[in-house]
Amino acid sequence: MAGQIPQSFIDQLLDTVELTSLIGEDVALKRSGNNYQGKCPFHDDRSPSFSVSPEKQVYHCFGCGASGNALTYAKEKRGLDFIGAVEMLAKRQGVEVPREDVSPAQERAQKARQRLYDVVQAADEYFQWNLRNAANKAGAIDYLKGRGLSGATAKRFGIGLSPVSGQALRQHLTQSGFNDDEMEKAGLLVRKPGRNYDRFRNRVTFPIRDRRGRTVAFTARVLDDSKPKYLNSSESDIFHKGKVLYGLHEAITANRTLERLIVVEGQMDVIALAQFELPCAVATSGTAITADHLEQLCRLVPQVVFCFDGDKAGKKAGWRALENALPMMDGQTEFLFLFLPDGQDPDSLLQAEGTAGYHKQLSQAVALTDFLFDHLCVDLDMQRLDSRARLGGIVAPHLKRMPKGLPKELMLDELARRVGTDKTAIRDLVDHAQPAPIEPAPTPAPEPEPEPPAEPVTNDGYDELMNYAGSDDNEGTDYYADFDPAPMPIGEAPAAPEAKLELPPIGINLPAQAKYLQCLYHLPSLAVEPMSWAHEGAWERAINQVIEAIVDHKIDSTAALMGYFSNTDIGRIFAEFTRRDPLIAQDRLAAQWQDLENHRDRRSAKLERRGIKASGNDDASALARLIAARNAAQTQKKP
Ligand SMILES: [Zn+2]
């Protein structure tokens, strides 16, 4: 029997299929903001009510409620079963579907990996929240404004802020259900005997996202005099510097068709270019560009421009990029090299001369061939016969590394012209040459360890933050566009009783009740029977309404649930879930549900310890009594 299709393959498939082009085969799509819109391929649509998000790789119809990803599209539109859909998409991408038996060990490894994504994601949300709310946000916002970044750009790149205290993130993540081990593995925590502390403190944080947009690591810049100036997450199971390109996800989502990608040296350059409406730059994270990086770029665009500083280090980095590019010169991708005037980087150039200045520089980028010959001829006097012969000997080993094809033929022509001989002799020379050895890419140095926070490690910063969150000082909150000061994103923050169903802005953890609803929406089978709540607000009522609908009407799919609640407040929240996180994995939902339930159990246990009998349905009345007691105590305190 054929084994299981590895989840990693399905992930990769969803990663590489361009949903807009898949759906574009059936209906015409037009760009509208970040999304594409068109007439729904699933129902008789008069006005375009169907929208596709290339960023999230999902679609949603506001008319009939159809929604999903490339796989659901293939299933529902093309009438395939799951395996058939995977095979169809794989064929489209020209890849074979691998099969494997998943051992318990592999399954454990997969789960551990997912936990890493989750913990980094939680840290990401927390950092972004801090930039809008933390006590040290003013310095960070001043710094970003000083670099010319708008709030919108900061938001797009998910720029955040780590608190001053060495314990704030750790404490937040602990409360969200992660342990030190997971934080350390994700490169967020420094572990020392007797004292574990946050890796990033008082730094502006830049999430490093993989192609699919999942945050896998951070780069962080100091706001004080600490060393080092820039600090990256250490490498982890989900973050390999030699593979991830900073800005690639943002570039893909900002451009419907990407014609060109610019490889720059610094992450800040990527952001600066995007700020100046050139959202097509990528950078490595503290490592030289690798063959792996280049392969990703070549698959995506017909033109790659390497942009380096004009100094010696820049030239060296350029040469390394050239060495890696040679074996990929198959005529599909053009490589250009741009060396900026001495002392300039893209950021400073843009600040000084704006987009026009940068475009002028771009137009002067040289072809790989020119860079290669210029670099190798630099010490040769081409008027002299022996120098010309030497050139042949020097260049041949490099040409040897090129694949057969037109680019190589043209290079042979060029070398023959420069040496002043015929092509046959040059071809012979190249054929017999040893391929030039390329300097192995230096293994990225381990990230320096940030200095430990001043003794003693306390959670002062955290408390300060908690208090700050409640203060009225909202100065600067308008920096991060269209975000309101938001509640502290603790994993289990109690939801304030609300009159209306309203989700917090993207980036802020959902309150527990919304998470219940989210689980039910994606996985209706979780519904068993209505729940008892200490406090019955809009959310609690909605949860029970949904549970009852699922049970009473035997609803077994998200689409059916969506249909049932269409044009209601709950339906509006469902549409929002689809828009925000439709790819949420089933096992993750089940785990989330379990966490929520465990939390309810723990709460009951806590109540019991306090002498309040709480079990089963008594939970509700016990909680109600506790809350009533607390409220009474608070009322008494007030003058
Ligand atoms: Zn529709």
Poorest-confidence range of 1-10, 94-103, 252-261, 492-501? 492-501
- 520 Cα: distance to centroid of ligand 1 (angstroms): 22
Residue with the larger pLDDT of the pair 543 and 595: 543
**The domain spanning residue 202 has which CATH number?**
3.90.980.10
pLDDT at 498: 41
Q: Is residue 539 part of a domain?
A: yes
Which pLDDT belongs to residue 447? 75
Residues 248, 350, single domain; the answer is yes
Q: Which of 176, 175, 185, 180 is nearest to 195 (CA)?
A: 180
What spacing in Å lies between the alpha carbon of 29 and ligand 1's midpoint? 14
Q: Are residues 246 and 201 in the same domain?
A: no
For residue range 286-335, list pLDDT tens digits in order: 788 998 899 888 878 889 999 998 888 888 889 999 999 999 998 888 99
Output 12 or 629, whichever has higher pLDDT. Answer: 12
- The answer to the question of residue 434 being in a domain is yes
pLDDT band at 467 (very low <50, low <70, confident <90, very high): very low
Amino acid of residue 205: T
Which pLDDT score is estimated for 608?
A: 55
Residue 499 has pLDDT above 60, yes or no: no
| Rounded mean pLDDT, 558-577 | 78
Distance 525 CA to ligand 1 centre (A): 24
Residue 186 in any domain: the answer is yes
Question: So what's the pLDDT on residue 425?
Answer: 93
Cα dihedral 86, 92, 96, 101, rounded to 10, equals -10
Rounded CA separation 186/208 (Å) = 13
% the chain with pLDDT above 90: 34
pLDDT band at 567 (very low <50, low <70, confident <90, very high): low
CA dist 209 and 244 (Å) reads: 8
Look up the CATH number of the domain holding residue 533.
Answer: 1.10.860
One domain, residues 14 and 54: yes
Q: Is pLDDT at 446 greater than 80 in this prediction?
A: no
pLDDT at 502: 81
466 in any annotated domain: no
| Whether pLDDT at 1 is above 60 | no
Q: Which of 164, 302, 161, 231 is nearest to 447 (CA)?
A: 231
Cα 78 to averaged position of ligand 1 atoms, centre (Å): 15
Cα(540) to ligand 1 centroid in Å equals 30
Distance 553 CA to ligand 1 centre (A): 22
The whole-number pLDDT of residue 380 equals 85
Q: How far apart are CA 615 and CA 601, in angstroms?
A: 9
Residue position matching structure tokens 């300060």: 464
Residue 124, pLDDT > 90, answer: yes
Among residues 419, 440, 461, the one where a domain terminates is 440
At residue 102 the predicted structure's pLDDT band, cuts being 50, 70 and 90, is low
Count of structural domains within the chain: 5
Band the pLDDT of 148: cuts 50, 70, 90. Answer: confident
Give yes or no: residues 145 and 167 share one domain: yes
Residue 45 Cα to ligand 1 midpoint, Å, equals 7
Q: Note whether 621 and 526 are same-domain residues.
A: yes
Range of the domain at 150: 116-238
Residues 90, 330: Cα–Cα separation, whole Å: 24
Residue 83 forms part of a structural domain = yes
pLDDT per residue over 549-561, tens digit each?
888 877 777 777 7
Q: How far is the CA of 539 from the centre of ligand 1 (A)?
A: 27
What is the 43 CA–ligand 1 centroid distance (Å)? 5
Please tell me whether residues 195 and 256 are part of one structural domain.
no
What pLDDT, on a 0 to 100 scale, did the predictor assign at position 173? 94
Q: What is the CA(14)–ligand 1 centre distance, in A?
A: 22
How far apart (Å, rounded) are the C-alpha atoms in residues 603 and 609?
A: 10
Chain segment 198-214, per-residue pLDDT in tens? 999 999 999 999 887 88
Residue 583: pLDDT above 60?
no
Distance CA(161)–CA(220), nearest Å, equals 8
Q: What is the Å distance from ligand 1's center to 44 Cα? A: 7
388 and 365 in one domain?
no
The pLDDT tens digits of the residues spanning 342-360 come to: 888 888 888 888 889 999 9
Worst-scoring range by mean pLDDT, 185-194, 434-443, 460-469, 603-612? 460-469
- 627 and 512 in one domain? yes
CA 194–ligand 1 middle distance (angstroms): 58
Cα 262 to ligand 1 centre (Å): 38
Distance 66 CA to ligand 1 centre (A): 6
The alpha carbon of 588 and the centre of ligand 1 are apart by a number of angstroms equal to 28
Mean pLDDT of the chain: 81
Please report, in angstroms and rounded to a whole number, the separation of the first and last CA atoms in the chain: 74
Same domain, residue pair 211 and 178: yes
Range 99-122 average pLDDT: 86
Q: How much distance in Å is there from the Cα of 60 to the middle of ligand 1?
A: 8
Say what the pLDDT of residue 613 is: 42
Residue 279 has pLDDT above 70, yes or no: yes
Q: Tell me which of 34 and 424 has the higher pLDDT.
A: 424
Judge whether 129 lies within some domain: yes
For residue 609, the model assigns a pLDDT of 56
Q: What's the CA gap between 126 and 128, in Å, rounded?
A: 5
Lowest mean pLDDT: which of 108-117, 165-174, 275-284, 502-511?
502-511
